[in-house]
Amino acid sequence: MKSSALAAKFWLHWPTLNGNLLVGLTLALVTLPQAVAFSVTLAGVPPHFGIYAAIWGVLFCSLLNPSRVFHGGPNTAMSATIGVTLLPVAPPFGAEYMGYALTLALMAGMIQLLFFIVRPLGRMLDLISEPVINGMICGIGFFLIFRSLTTFGGLPLNTEVEWPLWIAWQSFLAVLEIGNLHAIEVGLITLIACVVVQQFDRLRNWAILFGIAAGTLYSQYLNARLGPQDTLIEQIGNLSSIGFVFPSLPSFNQEAMPDIIAILPGALTLALLGLFQTVAALRRMNRKIGGFTDSRKAIFSDAVSNCLLPFLSSLPTCASFNRMWLVHKLGNHSRIAIASSALWLLLLVLFLADLIAVIPMPAMAGIIMLLGANMINWEDIKPHLQSRPEAMVFAASFLSVLFLDLFGAVLVGSVLAIAYSKWEQAHPNISLQGNVLKIRGNLYYGSLPVIESTYHSAIARVDDVIVDFSECYYIDPEGIRWLAAVQAGTRVPFADPRRGPTRRDHERAAPPERRGGAGRRTRPRRGRPDRRRRSDF
Amino acid sequence: MSTLTAKLAKIVLLVLASGGLYLLATHQHGQRESIRQAAVALTPDCAEKLGRYGLASGEHYQSPYVLQRTGARITARGYSDEDVRVIQRGCNIVDDTQGHLAGDADRERWNTTRFIRGTHLSCDHCHQSIGDKQDAGGNPMKGSLNLGASWAMADMYDRFTGLLLPFELRQMQCYINSSNGYKPNIADDVIRDVTAYSRFLSVALDYRIGNHHDEQGVDEIPASATPKQGDDHVRGEALYKQKCAHCHGPQAFGLEADGRVVAPALAGPNSWNMQSRNYFYYVSTILPGFICRNMPPGQENTLPNEECRDIAYYISNLPRPAGDRQGPLVALRQQMLMKVLPPLLRLTETVRNGEAPVERESGHDR
């Protein structure tokens, strides 16, 4: 009786569940090549790190994050940060290197936890404005293209950090002069197949899969014809170590301590890059789907996941904007779909390990290049070029990624964001229309000098100045003192919306040429809710 | 329709661009291959050295040098024509890294100048006599940075980084820090040719792997090897003026004549940077060791330890470029110092001596 009721319930819900599972499978197939590419080409760790991040990272995030479109998992910028931070410390793919990678991720997770516990720190992330984020995303896009150049040409990585743009140029010349031509062919075929498939709207999300299939087939053909000893195309290699759970321990022994201290800035970069992207992606998706998820909850889910993932031999996780966009596009917003993608991926990897092992590395590099190119989106850049301060912030954030390292870029980005918001606050919109000096914005110690200079030039030119601060939404004590001094010293009247006729009288009294057409627009609005501050006068 | 054309245009553009790059790559590869196959024009010193060591293609190789000095006939595996060319090119690169003696410097030296900032530095400024310095009697000299000995001892843990540093990676550090430049890719011919030449030297001089060779590296001179008066900038300056300034110039910016470097810069933009092991504040024992064992040319091993340390200390206090990993601020400071200090120093010299200003030196104002 009971079981049949359960079965009936199951069949009742089957269509939704079925839909969720399908979305999950799509997500898993899209995530798999990214996970492998990020870990191998960018982070310098074996592919199972990325795959576990795409399994456990996604699962933890879907359990902890209340958003119905949030898809965690491995991330380009974070993986690249791991690679850049650890290259000077240890040789990639080695045991030591993997230990450090886990340590780095754990430290980043703990820093993120700090951002959750200390509330103002978490709030600071909301100050990171769109131009800063987009500038960094664009810069990271170029960075990814540059970084995968050597792998694309079948050459060893450059192993120490120099000026990234110079590395890029040198790597480009090296690929042209001494690159492995077979590897370049495989990479180009992957790239072109990807871009061609991307042009079909229905297949867009499968482009990466198609590209990798094309590249792999071509490299298999080359290997069959010439033999792997002549083609020398590097492949992902053995994935037999993959199992259900692969426990691991970050290295925190005494010998590693100097290196761990040396990679601390890297950990901070990693933590901040993750949180930036999570908060920004969540904010954007909130607006797209019209819901609201508190970014604090996202910070919590990221932090906890990143503290747990290093013990499951996994890369750190953060929001992936392109995969979240995919969830949104597929239309089935549910956390079940996202959690099922993790389980699908686990099944895929358990059964397709042999197939993944023959994927050539140049194909992976081609994919990373394409993802990098997709991050540079003119539609996202264009709005920032309209206003000068925004364009400057965008350019600075963009260039700092290319000219400094990622840590420098994160620092510059944070400072810029705060400086930008402060600059905006300190420059209220002041206009002299007729004899009315209208101030829109903040009236506080930072903006007073700007206001005062306009005010004094106004009273020098016009005799009967009226100060209208009815659209000041914040006045600090210093602003109040200034207003008091203004009224006490020069008997300048204030426009008061509560006694409208007074102001109109003033306007009427002013000569018509001074009043102008613009003066009429500054009529104070009635019924503003916040009158408490102005009631002092 | 318009979107379709746009998409098609996108694809065509991509295919054309990648096809063009691929063609360019094949062309560059072909050019490289032709250089690899071409006969090598040896520099005079290389022709003399390789001739003396009997480098020729053949089934077996016997070093005339070892035969003459020890009477031992040690037969090693011989070299193919291609091997010989590789070794010859390596010798050329060590002798004349900047390509001043080459007809077509970029082609014949594998674009080494691309990896070097400044116009002075060449491998054999430190690895003197093309990496194989001998005294008048033909004996290899202790602490002379011999490349053959370095190759034989390469698979050892690096003293300073604690890493097992392959010979190729050690060369990259030379490019980054000693020549204040950029590193070539490890698969580049530049690295391979120099490695092949070093390896040939180790065979020609019979340096065996697993032995310690005094010729490798420099003899380090720690403060404990001096009478413990401390390293003195003032003494160093006086000694420098007295013993080094003839060749390296009063401000250590080196000496150029006819577009060729007679004495390399010890400071300023053409010199090694602050992350090099020659930099006193980074490793304080190596530059004194180099000076004691290799300087001045022809009178090696004449300076006492104390004086070497003083001179090295003085040289390291002169303005020089920052290392790549020291960040933009340090780089900016050093660039400023290199611009500002030389004229100031010249001015103080003029005032102090009451004489006409010293002529502008070559090298630092380009």
* CATH number, residue A475: 3.30.750.24
Positive or negative CA dihedral for A288, A289, A294, A297? negative
Categorize the per-residue pLDDT at A451 as very low, low, confident or very high, splitting at 50, 70 and 90: confident
The CATH number of B223-353 is which of 1.10.760.10, 1.20.1250.20, 1.10.3720.10, 3.40.50.300?
Answer: 1.10.760.10
Determine whether the interchain pair A178/B325 forms a contact, defined as Cβ–Cβ distance below 8 Å.
no
Closest Cβ opposite residue B186 in set A156, A177, A408? A156
Count of A–B CB contacts within 8 Å?
82
Range of the domain at A482: 427-536
Q: Which tokens hold the place of A310?
A: 């290093």
Do A186 and A365 touch, CB atoms closer than 8 A?
Answer: no
Determine whether the interchain pair A181/B328 forms a contact, defined as Cβ–Cβ distance below 8 Å.
no
Name which of A134-143, A163-172, A264-273 the model is least confident about.
A163-172
Question: Taking the domain B38-204, which CATH number applies?
Answer: 1.10.760.10
pLDDT at B151 over 90: yes
Determine whether the interchain pair B324/A174 forms a contact, defined as Cβ–Cβ distance below 8 Å.
no
Do A42 and A149 touch, CB atoms closer than 8 A?
Answer: no
Question: Could you tell me if the ipTM is greater than 0.95?
Answer: no
What pLDDT score does A118 carry? Answer: 92
Residue-averaged pLDDT of chain B:
88
Determine whether the interchain pair B15/A192 forms a contact, defined as Cβ–Cβ distance below 8 Å.
yes
Same domain, A359 and A473: no
Same domain, A269 and A404: yes
Residue B75 DSSP label: E
Same domain, A415 and A431: no
Q: Which tokens hold the place of A54?
A: 């795409």
| Binding-face residues of A in 81-110 toward B, CB within 8 A | 88
Closest Cβ opposite residue B188 in set A167, A178, A199? A178
Determine whether the interchain pair B188/A191 forms a contact, defined as Cβ–Cβ distance below 8 Å.
no
d(CA A255, CA A260): 9
Determine whether the interchain pair A158/B183 forms a contact, defined as Cβ–Cβ distance below 8 Å.
yes
d(CA A88, CA A259): 10
> For residue B311, with 0-12 CB atoms within 10 Å meaning exposed, 13-18 middle and 19 or more buried, which class applies?
buried
What pLDDT score does A92 carry? Answer: 80
Same domain, A164 and A295: yes
pLDDT in tens, B37-59: 999 999 999 999 999 998 999 99
Categorize the per-residue pLDDT at A534 as very low, low, confident or very high, splitting at 50, 70 and 90: very low
CA–chain centroid gap for B6, Å, is 53
* Tokens 């390292």 belong to residue: A405
d(CA A310, CA A323): 22
A85 in a domain, yes or no? yes
pLDDT at A518 over 60: no
Task: Please give the biggest Cα pair distance in chain A.
Answer: 95
Do A80 and A161 touch, CB atoms closer than 8 A?
Answer: no
Categorize the per-residue pLDDT at A332 as very low, low, confident or very high, splitting at 50, 70 and 90: low
Best mutation target among A84, A163, A176 (most B Cβ atoms within 10 Å) is: A176
Same domain, A414 and A431: no
**Helix ranges, A38-129 (H):** 47-52, 58-64, 76-86, 95-117, 119-125
d(CA A440, CA A234): 62
pLDDT in tens, B181-232: 888 888 899 999 999 999 999 999 999 988 889 898 888 899 888 887 788 8
3-class SS letters over A296-319: HHHHHHHHHHHHHHHHHCCCCCCC
pLDDT in tens, B208-218: 988 889 898 88
Closest Cβ opposite residue A170 in set B7, B18, B182? B182
CA–chain centroid gap for B270, Å, is 12
pLDDT at B365 over 60: no
pLDDT in tens, A388-429: 878 888 898 888 888 877 777 778 877 887 888 788 888 888
Q: How far is CA B26 from CA A185, B31, B109, in A?
A: 11, 9, 20
d(CA A305, CA A295): 15
d(CA A149, CA B82): 30
User: What is the pLDDT averaged over residues A436-451?
Assistant: 86
Same domain, A373 and A455: no
pLDDT in tens, B81-103: 999 999 999 999 999 999 888 88
Residue A523 DSSP label: P
Same domain, A395 and A436: no
Nearest-Cα distance to chain A for B50, in Å, is 28
Determine whether the interchain pair B22/A173 forms a contact, defined as Cβ–Cβ distance below 8 Å.
no
Same domain, A303 and A281: yes
Closest Cβ opposite residue A188 in set B22, B169, B328? B22
pLDDT in tens, A122-164: 888 877 777 888 888 888 888 888 888 888 998 876 655 556 6
Q: Decide which of A374, A399, A420 is a domain's last residue.
A: A420
Same domain, A167 and A129: yes
Determine whether the interchain pair B18/A166 forms a contact, defined as Cβ–Cβ distance below 8 Å.
no
pLDDT at A274 over 70: yes
User: What is the pLDDT averaged over residues A241-258?
Assistant: 83
pLDDT at A1 over 60: no
What pLDDT score does A535 carry? Answer: 37
User: What is the pLDDT averaged over residues B140-153?
Assistant: 91
d(CA A181, CA B26): 8
Determine whether the interchain pair B11/A199 forms a contact, defined as Cβ–Cβ distance below 8 Å.
yes
Query: Which residues of A are less than 8 Å from B7 in CB distance?
Result: 199
Work out the percent of chain B whose per-residue pLDDT is above 90: 49
Closest Cβ opposite residue A176 in set B10, B25, B328? B25
- Higher-confidence residue of B194 and B346: namely B194
d(CA A523, CA A529): 17
Closest Cβ opposite residue A177 in set B22, B32, B183? B32
Name which of A1-10, A308-317, A520-529, B100-109 the model is least confident about.
A520-529
Same domain, A345 and A268: yes
What pLDDT score does A198 carry? Answer: 86
Q: How far is CA A478 from CA A188, A496, B170, B294, in A?
A: 64, 20, 63, 71
Cross-strand pairs, B261: B256
Closest Cβ opposite residue B176 in set A160, A174, A175? A160
Cross-strand pairs, B79: B57
pLDDT at A213 over 60: yes
Cross-strand pairs, B256: B261
Query: Which residues of A are less than 8 Å from B185 in CB distance?
Result: 150, 155-156, 158, 170-171, 174, 178
- For A430, phi then psi, to 5°, come to -115, 130
What pLDDT score does A271 carry? Answer: 92
What pLDDT score does A14 carry? Answer: 67
Q: Per this entry, what is the length of chain B?
A: 366
Question: Phi-psi region for residue A238, left (φ > 0), alpha (ψ -120 to 50) or beta?
Answer: beta
- Higher-confidence residue of A525 and B207: namely B207
Nearest-Cα distance to chain A for B327, in Å, is 8
Nearest-Cα distance to chain A for B28, in Å, is 5
Do B249 and B300 touch, CB atoms closer than 8 A?
Answer: no
Cross-strand pairs, B164: B157
CA-nearest residue to B180 within chain A is A162
Query: Which residues of A are less than 8 Å from B324 in CB distance?
Result: 160-163
Work out the percent of chain A whose per-residue pLDDT is above 70: 87
Q: Where in chain B is the domain with CATH 1.10.760.10?
A: 38-204, 223-353
Do A301 and A60 touch, CB atoms closer than 8 A?
Answer: yes
What pLDDT score does A367 carry? Answer: 86
Determine whether the interchain pair B185/A158 forms a contact, defined as Cβ–Cβ distance below 8 Å.
yes
User: Between β-strands B60-62 and A466-475, what pairing exists: parallel, antiparallel or unpaired?
Assistant: unpaired
Determine whether the interchain pair A162/B182 forms a contact, defined as Cβ–Cβ distance below 8 Å.
yes
**Strand locations in B242-329, DSSP E?**
255-257, 260-263
Q: Which tokens hold the place of B202?
A: 């180790």
What pLDDT score does A133 carry? Answer: 80
Same domain, A455 and A517: yes
> For residue A227, with 0-12 CB atoms within 10 Å meaning exposed, 13-18 middle and 19 or more buried, which class applies?
exposed
Q: Which tokens hold the place of A105?
A: 């991720």
Closest Cβ opposite residue A176 in set B24, B187, B188? B24
Same domain, A239 and A108: yes
Determine whether the interchain pair A163/B26 forms a contact, defined as Cβ–Cβ distance below 8 Å.
no
A256 in a domain, yes or no? yes
Domain count, chain A: 2
pLDDT at B1 over 60: no
pLDDT in tens, A360-382: 989 988 988 888 888 888 888 88
Residue-averaged pLDDT of chain A:
82
| Binding-face residues of A in 180-239 toward B, CB within 8 A | 181, 184-185, 188, 191-192, 195-196, 199
Residue B249's nearest CA partner among B361, B134, B121 is: B361
pLDDT in tens, B260-317: 888 999 999 999 999 899 999 888 899 999 999 998 888 889 999 999 999 999 999 9
Greatest mean pLDDT range, A107-111, A336-340, A392-396:
A107-111
What predicted TM-score, i.e. pTM, was given to this entire model? 0.77
Categorize the per-residue pLDDT at A529 as very low, low, confident or very high, splitting at 50, 70 and 90: very low
User: What is the pLDDT averaged over residues A171-183?
Assistant: 90
